[in-house]
Amino acid sequence: MHKSSSWLLIAAALVTVTAPSRAWEGDPIRGRALFGEQCTLCHTEAGEGGLGPDLRGVAGRKAASTDFAYSPALMATGWAWDDSNLDRFLENPAAVVPGSVMPFSVPNLTERADIIAYLKSLK
């Protein structure tokens, strides 16, 4: 392998390792559609009545801070729902917060980013 090829591989590896999370770069329009497909079975973004908590205003809010019967595990996190915590939780709730009662995950990074962008638009 040539020296220039080696440097290109090293540079590509560094960009991959140091690239920031895409959680804040999502498409809220696509996120709304994904929310409708994947989240509305339990969650609402327009008031009470879901099996899960209402997600209006969730971005930036303290976890387990609304009038909903949250799991003790989620209440114990002390989290605020920032991009990073939303991303980690949506990727695998049971692994990130053992004892959480949220049964669904969003393993796809792009879909999580889009859903997070949509959640951030809900005021």
Contact 2, 88 (CB under 8 A): no
Closest CA to 115 of 27, 10, 16, 14: 27
Q: Is residue 13 part of a domain?
A: no
Q: Is residue 11 part of a domain?
A: no
Angstrom distance (rounded) from CA 98 to CA 88: 13
Please give the structure tokens belonging to residue 105. 């995950």
Domain count, the chain: 1
Q: Please give the pLDDT value at position 123.
A: 86
Average pLDDT over residues 15-44: 78
Q: What is the CATH number of the domain that holds 91?
A: 1.10.760.10
Continuous segment of H or E residues that includes residue 54: none
Angstrom distance (rounded) from CA 123 to CA 115: 15
* Domain extent for 74: 22-121
pTM summary value:
0.78
Q: Is residue 94 part of a domain?
A: yes
Q: Amino acid letter at 70?
A: Y
Q: Please give the pLDDT value at position 49.
A: 66
pLDDT (tens digit per residue) in 39-74: 999 998 776 667 899 999 999 999 999 989 999 999
Q: Is residue 66 part of a domain?
A: yes
